[in-house]
Amino acid sequence: MSAHGTAWHVPEDDLRAYARGEATPPRLWSTDTHLASCAQCRETLAALSDPVALDAGWERLDAELDAPRPGLVESLLVRVGVAEHTARLLAATPVLRRSWLGAVLAVLVMTVVAADAVRTTATPTMFLALAPLLPLAGVALSYGPVLDPTYEMTVVSPTHSFRLLMIRTVAVLTVSLGLNGLATLALPSYGLRALAWLLPALALTGSGLALTPRLGPVLAPSLVGGAWIAVLMAARSAAEAHATLAPFTAAGQGVAAAVAVLATGLLYLVRDRFDASRVPLTDTFRGGTA
Amino acid sequence: MPPTVSASGLTLRYGGTVALDDVSLRLGEGVTGLLGPNGAGKTTLLRVLATAVPADRGAFTVLGHDPGSPSGRLDVRRRLGYLPQTPGFHQDFSAFAFVDYVAILKELTDRTARHREVRRVLDAVDLSDVRGKRIKKLSGGMRQRVALAAALVGDPGFLVLDEPTVGLDPEQRMRFRELIAQAGEGRTVLLSTHQTEDVAMLCHRVIVMASGRVRFEGTPAELTARAAGRVWSSTERDPGARAGWRTGTGSFRNVGDPPPGAELLEPTLEDGYLLTLDGETAEVAA
């Protein structure tokens, strides 16, 4: 009998690897799933296996039948080589959910359209001002008591808070920088000048994270975001009309790069303080992320 | 046998509020109830003992580990199960996926062993039949059991439960009490609650807190005994009573210093609790 009405069966080499306990995801999952519904492959497996290994295989199959199917994001992450348990931690990141990504995308599209329609300077100022704030906000919202409903359980778990923060930060940065990059491609007439958001984005995100153990996950990114806006306003008042704002000049980019490096170094130095910080545990937000 | 938890002088301030004021205690195997009115400091004490927030002053050990150092904190967290007052969930996860997620946070990275453990704890809280259901489709009682299952992952030696029976209907509450009693076999459980019934049914020890301080530590029988000879019945509210309330028979039950010739009643755990709180009982028992 074939599984799911198809003639496909697990190759014998894969069954041997499975019997030896050497099969790895996602092939392991495919084999588990197929064996659950294919008597022929189960018989082949029994013939290939020694009894002890076979018992372990049945136990694994039992566990597999109970296990939830991983979602789209989780499956993709595993397929590109992310460990299965790390993929599950990432799947629980609030800002990687569709509603958040949709909101970020909408903001970017509107900004790009506005930047293209109202072209008054050599740089897309509005886009360059906004784009660095999106990864800052994304990272800030990926961890902490405000938006992570399981924060209180997470913080008392043996998984190091800094490790979890870094896992989520890398994921959020990859997604948000990727979206910003796509938006940049939509502004080809500005050339490389449309990429002047990248270094400020890294500087703001690094600074926000480095200040979090001292100021908390809300105040730190809020202050950094506020400081960025203040710098832009000061640069606007100091610049001549239609001139490129200082943060987007070569000198400004150099400063942003230096801040990004310093913030990353500071973040490394304070990494242990994420585990023992006095982050207030609010009782006001206990909703889900649905 | 050394205590599972030993704390001395725990003090914590939030702004101008003293949430914990020089709290010392020792917890051994079995279920210990933590009673107290709102704002007594129960949740703060549980968060400190669960290593969610550090105390300003004082020290404690859990199973011999000192959470004051990073390595000690990690050792404590590896032996800890924690059910917060209002546990949050990833609502789109199934019960199995959520407990699996917590198991990953508890360092169970081997998929097969982890899934075996998730099935074990879901069995223990009677949720095997709904393990594939999304959390948002589960009743409040079932969600609370999912959270308890998550706390039980890894067979922790110290289980911290913050008001787990709040919001449950009477039947769910009874079911949950059975689960807590089972969980208390062979491990140390600290159970915060408003309900003296929880303590009477489950706990071999009880701690009463008010205004951030420990007001009583002993057995439920010792707490009840505090009210011996200090509970009486009257047809009208007795103005000399510390607290008094009308019972189902229409008469008043009073606690405090009885007048001469008063008709004394058998004390209950609740009477002992109210007398221990003393001046802070007014809003509770009026």
**Dist. CA A197–CA A132, nearest whole Å:** 6
Look up residue B261 and give its two tokens.
């010739």
**Dist. CA B169–CA B87, nearest whole Å:** 18
Look up residue A126 and give its two tokens.
């509005």
Q: Å from A255 to nearest chain B CA?
A: 35
Query: Is pLDDT above 70 for B225?
Result: yes
Q: Do the chains contact at B100 and A272, CB–CB below 8 Å?
A: no
Q: Å from B48 to nearest chain A CA?
A: 10
Taking contacts as CB-CB distances below 8 angstroms, the residues of chain A near B109 are 83, 85
Residue pair B74/B39 in contact by the 8 Å Cβ criterion: no
More confident residue, B277 or A28: B277
Q: Å from B74 to nearest chain A CA?
A: 6
A71 phi, psi to nearest 5 deg: -75, 180
**Mutate which: A85, A153, A159, A161, vs B, most B CBs within 10 A:** A153
Residue pair B125/B179 in contact by the 8 Å Cβ criterion: yes
Query: Is pLDDT above 90 for B213?
Result: yes
Q: Do the chains contact at B87 and A152, CB–CB below 8 Å?
A: yes
**Dist. CA A253–CA B98, nearest whole Å:** 43
Taking contacts as CB-CB distances below 8 angstroms, the residues of chain B near A289 are 90-92
Q: Å from B204 to nearest chain A CA?
A: 26
Query: Is pLDDT above 90 for B50?
Result: yes
* Burial profile B213-250: b = 16 or more Cβ within 10 angstroms, e = fewer: ebbbbeebeebbebbeebbbbbeeebeebbbbeeeeee
pLDDT (tens digit, 0 to 9) for every residue of chain A, 290 residues total?
Answer: 444 455 788 888 888 888 777 777 777 778 887 887 888 888 888 777 766 666 666 666 666 666 667 777 778 888 888 888 888 888 777 666 665 666 677 777 777 776 666 666 666 788 888 889 988 888 887 777 767 788 888 889 998 888 888 888 888 888 888 888 888 887 777 777 788 889 999 999 999 999 988 888 888 999 999 999 999 999 888 877 777 888 888 999 999 999 999 999 999 998 888 876 555 554 433 333 32
Give chain A's radius of gyration (CA, Å). 25
Chain A residues within 8 A (CB-CB) of chain B? 25, 59-60, 63-64, 66-68, 83-85, 88-89, 92, 148-160, 164, 272, 275-276, 278, 280-281, 283, 286-290
Is B12 strand, coil or helix? Answer: strand
Look up residue B228 and give its two tokens.
């011996």
Residue pair B32/B206 in contact by the 8 Å Cβ criterion: yes
The residues, ordered by sequence, that sit 6+ positions from B17 with a Cβ below 8 Å of its Cβ are none
Mean pLDDT of B233-261: 88
**Dist. CA A137–CA A159, nearest whole Å:** 24
Selecting from B51, B104, B112 the residue whose C-beta is nearest the C-beta of A85 gives B104
pLDDT confidence tier of residue B153, bands split at 50, 70 and 90: very high
Q: Do the chains contact at B112 and A156, CB–CB below 8 Å?
A: no
**Dist. CA B251–CA A136, nearest whole Å:** 64
Q: Which of A282, A246, A218, A1 is nearest to A129 (CA)?
A: A246
Q: Which of A101, A15, A109, A9 is nearest to A54 (CA)?
A: A15
**Dist. CA B23–CA B243, nearest whole Å:** 27
Query: Is pLDDT above 80 for B284?
Result: no
- How much is the pTM? 0.77
To which H or E segment does residue B217 belong? Answer: strand B213-218
Nearest-CA residue of chain B relative to A275?
B70
Taking contacts as CB-CB distances below 8 angstroms, the residues of chain B near A272 are 70
Query: Is pLDDT above 50 for B283?
Result: no
Taking contacts as CB-CB distances below 8 angstroms, the residues of chain A near B120 are none
Look up residue B153 and give its two tokens.
């992952």
The reported pLDDT for the residue numbered B48 is 94
The reported pLDDT for the residue numbered A2 is 43
The reported pLDDT for the residue numbered A285 is 32
The residues, ordered by sequence, that sit 6+ positions from B157 with a Cβ below 8 Å of its Cβ are B4, B63, B79, B187, B188
The reported pLDDT for the residue numbered A283 is 42
